[in-house]
Structure 1
Amino acid sequence: MSDSLTLIEEMLGREARLFAASNVESDDRSHRTYIVADFEYQYHRSAHAGYQVAEGAAAEEKIRWPFHRIVAAAWTVLRFVPGQAVPEIEAPVVLTAETMDEKTMVTQFFDALAAMPQAIFATWGGEAKDLAALRRAAVEHDLCLPVQLLDLSPYSIRRLDLCNASSVMAASVHLPEYAAALAIPSKPSPRKEIGQLVENRQWDLVADQVAADVLTTCVIAIGHLKSMAVVTCDRPATIMALAEKAAETFPKSIFCSRSFRPWARDRLRAAGLRGTVFRAP
């Protein structure tokens, strides 16, 4: 009986969150809040090895997403308010397996989403992996999904996958690929090396990587949303504010101090100049 009551309470709570979110959206659509997030993973090799033994020749050789365990998570909040040239930017959050397990990291992220049910959950390519991993984590750790993850459609209005939104019918591309084309700083370590950093437990480098991914995704989100006339803002000033907030939060970050902040400052200065601005390749 108690288990049934608990299930009913969870269902009612979920419905209440959906109702609250819809009310917030209908009351004030001009205020747009985005939670931009990214995650890094480690293979659950022992579980995959057991699966291969059980399935034999029929087993998948590649270690696919059900066996990927979250070992780093990062997110920040962008709140666009009408009449403000620069959105309200919350200090980025970065969590790694150096200090907490997957359940704790996912719980903290779900709590951040649940605290802002009107917020749109933004990722780069999240629909292809991150959301599946988060839903798997919810099942494995007995967690309740926030409203942003309840809609299973890859085109949910509660989420924004910038990879899908940018490519549409064109081939999907990697984050550093798109960022390089737009001259936006990205990943301090090559994409395929992050797994080795995780295996070596180099958590400072892993933290810098996941934070960098969020900052790069934020810059892409700002450009995308402004180009679609979804938000209005002073783009160079917004990016500079983002860089300052990140540098203040992570004073030891090599990416923030050597790449992102100088780049943002250069763009802000260029925006105040007249005529053609020439940059070194």
Structure 2
Amino acid sequence: MHNDNVSFEEALEREARKFLGHHAGDSRAGRNPQRIIVADFEYRWDRSRYDGYRVSEGESAEPTIRWPFHRIAAASWLQLRFDPGEEVPAVESIVVLAEDEASEQEMIARFFEALHQMPTVQLITWGGEVKDLAVLRRSAGEFAMILPRQLTDGSPHARERIDLCRAVTVQARSPHLPEYAAATAIPAKPSPSRTIGELVEKGDWPKVRDQVLADVLTTAVIAVRHLAAHRVIECHQSNTLMAVADAVAAAIPGSEFARRSFAPWARGQKAASGLRGAVYRAAA
């Protein structure tokens, strides 16, 4: 009789687990994928137009070359799709463009098209509200382009996008991307931040491409951590990093940063994740 009761209880438990499993599956099936596009841009200063402005304004002119005179010289973006119930996102695209292969207008058109194709995708930048988005809006007017949905709301708190620098900072002083990355052990910029303008003007496009790609990869890592911590996404983080590293290696095989810095770091994160778990100590 005791054995029959145990079997009956076990059967009930199995049925309960099955019911809960089906219910969870139905719930997941009813949810939509969460998509993000992580983007970054590098710039060339339009010195000729700035010089004309300084001549016309004289002593009233702004002494520094500010964002209206910054022209996009390189662009990169990474699109991830987080499907309900899947521990690793799909890497839907990884793009790196530079001035030697596409004009500023062409780079912006391709980026806008990626956003237009996925109107619900969330745009993620690091410090984008400070300059990148202003430049993109200026360019849309200049080149007679239609702004994607993610750029039409002028509020820095628009739901269609996240400026991670603002999101992680709250009311603390805003950190630079390599500063935050160093503090959280994430690989970042292969070239010092202040050298990128010189690299653009020299036409050192391999280094410029690596810089803009590195910024996207670093920001993507921070984005995954941030969104997971806020329960916006669910994923296996170390496997996610490896999926990104593998996708970049396939799509951008010439990237020194991806091969020498990001991929080894991602492998290290995956190896370390296998060591985590409960720690048992011998009784004293």
**TM-score range relative to shorter protein:** 0.7 to 0.9
Question: Which structure would you say has the larger Rg?
Answer: 2
The amino acid across from 2:58 in the alignment is G
Residue among 187, 200, 217 paired with 2:202: 200
> Partner residue of 1:256?
258
Residue 195 of structure 2 aligns to a residue in which SS?
helix
Query: Percentage identity across aligned positions?
Result: 54
Q: Say whether the 8 Å CA contact 1:247–1:257 is kept in structure 2.
A: yes
The amino acid across from 1:47 in the alignment is R
Residue among 71, 74, 81 paired with 1:72: 74
Unaligned runs of 5+ in 1: 1-27
> Partner residue of 1:273?
275
> Partner residue of 2:131?
129
Between Structure 1 and Structure 2, how many residues are aligned?
251
> Partner residue of 2:235?
233
Distance 2:125 2:76 in 1: 11
1:186 aligns with 2:188: yes
Distance 2:254 2:150 in 1: 32
| Structure 1 outlier segments of 4+, above 6 Å | none
Distance 1:214 1:142 in 2: 27
CA deviation digits over 1:47-87, x for unaligned, max 9? Answer: 00010001100101100000000010000101111100001
Query: Cα distance 1:56–1:276, how it changes in 2: closer, same or farther (>3 A)?
Result: farther
Q: Say whether the 8 Å CA contact 2:35–2:80 is kept in structure 1.
A: yes
Distance 1:224 1:275 in 2: 22
> Partner residue of 2:246?
244
TM-score by length of 2: 0.86
Paired residues for 1:167-186 under 5 Å = 167-186=169-188
> Partner residue of 1:56?
58
1:213 aligns with 2:235: no
Residue among 122, 147, 150 paired with 2:149: 147
The amino acid across from 2:137 in the alignment is R
Measure how far apart 1:92 and its partner are: 1.0
Paired residues for 1:67-146 under 5 Å = 67-146=69-148
Unaligned runs of 5+ in 2: 1-29, 280-284
> Partner residue of 2:47?
45
Distance 2:214 2:276 in 1: 31
Query: Cα distance 1:118–1:47, how it changes in 2: closer, same or farther (>3 A)?
Result: same
CA deviation digits over 1:132-174, x for unaligned, max 9? Answer: 0000111111111011111111100000110000001111111
The amino acid across from 1:244 in the alignment is D
Q: Say whether the 8 Å CA contact 1:34–1:77 is kept in structure 2.
A: yes
Q: Say whether the 8 Å CA contact 2:112–2:148 is kept in structure 1.
A: yes
Q: Say whether the 8 Å CA contact 2:72–2:104 is kept in structure 1.
A: yes
Measure how far apart 1:276 and its partner are: 10
The root-mean-square deviation of aligned C-alpha atoms, in Å, is 1.6
Measure how far apart 1:90 and its partner are: 2.1
Distance 1:77 1:191 in 2: 24
Distance 1:199 1:173 in 2: 26
Distance 2:194 2:98 in 1: 18
Measure how far apart 1:274 and its partner are: 4.5
Q: Say whether the 8 Å CA contact 2:42–2:75 is kept in structure 1.
A: yes
Distance 1:145 1:251 in 2: 32
Query: Cα distance 1:269–1:138, how it changes in 2: closer, same or farther (>3 A)?
Result: same
Measure how far apart 1:250 and its partner are: 1.4
Distance 2:148 2:215 in 1: 23
Measure how far apart 1:270 and its partner are: 0.7
Distance 1:120 1:91 in 2: 14
Q: Say whether the 8 Å CA contact 1:91–1:246 is kept in structure 2.
A: no
TM-score by length of 1: 0.87
Residue 71 of structure 2 aligns to a residue in which SS?
strand
Distance 1:107 1:236 in 2: 33
